[in-house]
Structure 1
Amino acid sequence: NRQRIILLVNGPDAIAINKTTGEIIAEYTIDPTKNYQSKKKNPRTKKGNDDPTHPLQKRER
Protein backbone atom coordinates (compact mmCIF):
# COMPACT_ATOMS: atom_id res chain seq x y z
CA ASN A 1 0.00 0.00 0.00
CA ARG A 2 1.92 3.04 -1.23
CA GLN A 3 1.24 6.47 0.18
CA ARG A 4 2.44 9.85 -1.00
CA ILE A 5 4.15 11.56 1.89
CA ILE A 6 5.72 14.83 2.90
CA LEU A 7 8.97 14.38 4.81
CA LEU A 8 9.83 17.23 7.17
CA VAL A 9 13.47 17.24 8.27
CA ASN A 10 15.03 19.48 10.90
CA GLY A 11 18.56 18.46 11.83
CA PRO A 12 18.45 14.80 12.91
CA ASP A 13 14.65 14.78 13.34
CA ALA A 14 12.30 13.67 10.57
CA ILE A 15 8.50 13.41 10.42
CA ALA A 16 6.66 11.49 7.69
CA ILE A 17 3.19 12.92 6.96
CA ASN A 18 0.50 11.53 4.67
CA LYS A 19 0.26 14.10 1.86
CA THR A 20 -3.49 13.63 1.40
CA THR A 21 -4.74 13.51 4.99
CA GLY A 22 -2.01 15.34 6.91
CA GLU A 23 -1.79 12.40 9.34
CA ILE A 24 1.61 11.89 10.98
CA ILE A 25 2.72 8.43 9.88
CA ALA A 26 6.03 8.20 11.72
CA GLU A 27 8.70 10.21 13.50
CA TYR A 28 12.41 9.45 13.49
CA THR A 29 15.63 10.76 14.97
CA ILE A 30 18.23 9.98 12.31
CA ASP A 31 21.44 8.38 13.57
CA PRO A 32 24.03 8.40 10.75
CA THR A 33 26.00 5.61 12.48
CA LYS A 34 23.12 3.15 11.89
CA ASN A 35 21.87 1.57 8.66
CA TYR A 36 18.31 1.25 10.00
CA GLN A 37 16.34 4.08 11.61
CA SER A 38 13.77 3.08 14.24
CA LYS A 39 10.54 5.00 14.72
CA LYS A 40 10.33 7.14 17.85
CA LYS A 41 8.72 5.31 20.75
CA ASN A 42 6.22 8.09 21.58
CA PRO A 43 5.23 9.83 18.36
CA ARG A 44 2.75 12.68 18.30
CA THR A 45 -0.78 11.33 18.48
CA LYS A 46 -2.41 14.20 16.62
CA LYS A 47 -3.88 13.21 13.28
CA GLY A 48 -4.55 15.59 10.46
CA ASN A 49 -4.08 19.29 10.10
CA ASP A 50 -6.05 21.65 12.33
CA ASP A 51 -4.93 24.86 10.61
CA PRO A 52 -8.18 26.30 9.14
CA THR A 53 -6.20 28.19 6.47
CA HIS A 54 -4.37 25.08 5.23
CA PRO A 55 -5.40 23.97 1.69
CA LEU A 56 -6.32 20.46 2.89
CA GLN A 57 -8.77 21.91 5.42
CA LYS A 58 -10.43 24.09 2.79
CA ARG A 59 -10.86 21.10 0.48
CA GLU A 60 -12.55 19.00 3.21
CA ARG A 61 -15.22 21.60 4.03
Structure 2
Amino acid sequence: MESASTPSFRCPNCKKAVSRDSENFPFCCDRCRIIDLGRWATGDYRIAGDPALIPDEPEGYG
Protein backbone atom coordinates (compact mmCIF):
# COMPACT_ATOMS: atom_id res chain seq x y z
CA MET A 1 0.00 0.00 0.00
CA GLU A 2 1.26 3.47 -0.85
CA SER A 3 1.86 5.95 1.92
CA ALA A 4 -0.09 9.20 1.99
CA SER A 5 3.07 11.18 1.09
CA THR A 6 3.77 9.13 -2.07
CA PRO A 7 2.06 10.77 -5.03
CA SER A 8 0.38 8.41 -7.48
CA PHE A 9 0.84 9.02 -11.18
CA ARG A 10 -1.30 7.77 -14.03
CA CYS A 11 -0.32 7.23 -17.65
CA PRO A 12 -1.91 10.04 -19.72
CA ASN A 13 -3.00 7.52 -22.37
CA CYS A 14 -4.25 4.38 -20.63
CA LYS A 15 -4.50 5.64 -17.01
CA LYS A 16 -2.44 2.75 -15.56
CA ALA A 17 -0.47 3.51 -12.41
CA VAL A 18 3.09 4.62 -13.17
CA SER A 19 6.11 4.81 -10.90
CA ARG A 20 8.22 7.95 -11.05
CA ASP A 21 11.21 5.62 -11.47
CA SER A 22 9.77 4.12 -14.67
CA GLU A 23 11.98 4.32 -17.76
CA ASN A 24 9.05 5.75 -19.74
CA PHE A 25 7.72 8.14 -17.08
CA PRO A 26 5.16 9.73 -17.27
CA PHE A 27 3.93 6.93 -19.53
CA CYS A 28 3.50 3.32 -18.42
CA CYS A 29 5.26 1.80 -21.43
CA ASP A 30 7.01 2.53 -24.69
CA ARG A 31 3.76 2.01 -26.63
CA CYS A 32 1.94 4.78 -24.74
CA ARG A 33 4.94 7.10 -25.15
CA ILE A 34 4.96 6.55 -28.94
CA ILE A 35 1.17 7.06 -29.14
CA ASP A 36 1.58 10.44 -27.42
CA LEU A 37 4.42 11.43 -29.75
CA GLY A 38 2.23 10.53 -32.74
CA ARG A 39 -0.55 12.77 -31.42
CA TRP A 40 1.85 15.72 -31.29
CA ALA A 41 3.15 14.94 -34.79
CA THR A 42 -0.33 14.81 -36.34
CA GLY A 43 -1.44 18.05 -34.69
CA ASP A 44 -3.92 16.51 -32.23
CA TYR A 45 -2.21 18.52 -29.49
CA ARG A 46 -1.71 22.24 -29.94
CA ILE A 47 -0.41 25.09 -27.85
CA ALA A 48 -3.04 27.82 -27.63
CA GLY A 49 -2.33 31.15 -29.27
CA ASP A 50 -1.96 32.83 -32.61
CA PRO A 51 0.17 31.04 -35.20
CA ALA A 52 3.76 32.24 -35.33
CA LEU A 53 4.80 34.27 -38.36
CA ILE A 54 7.58 32.71 -40.40
CA PRO A 55 9.63 35.52 -42.01
CA ASP A 56 10.79 33.62 -45.12
CA GLU A 57 7.39 32.07 -45.88
CA PRO A 58 6.47 32.31 -49.60
CA GLU A 59 3.35 34.25 -50.61
CA GLY A 60 0.12 32.28 -50.54
CA TYR A 61 1.55 29.61 -48.23
CA GLY A 62 -0.53 28.60 -45.19
The answer, yes or no, to whether TM exceeds 0.5 is no
What's the TM-score, normalizing by structure 2?
Answer: 0.27
Q: Which has the larger radius of gyration?
A: 2
What's the TM-score, normalizing by structure 1?
Answer: 0.27
The structure carrying a bigger strand percent of its residues is 1
The structure carrying a bigger helix percent of its residues is 2
Structure with bigger RCO (C-alpha 8 Å, 6+ apart): 1
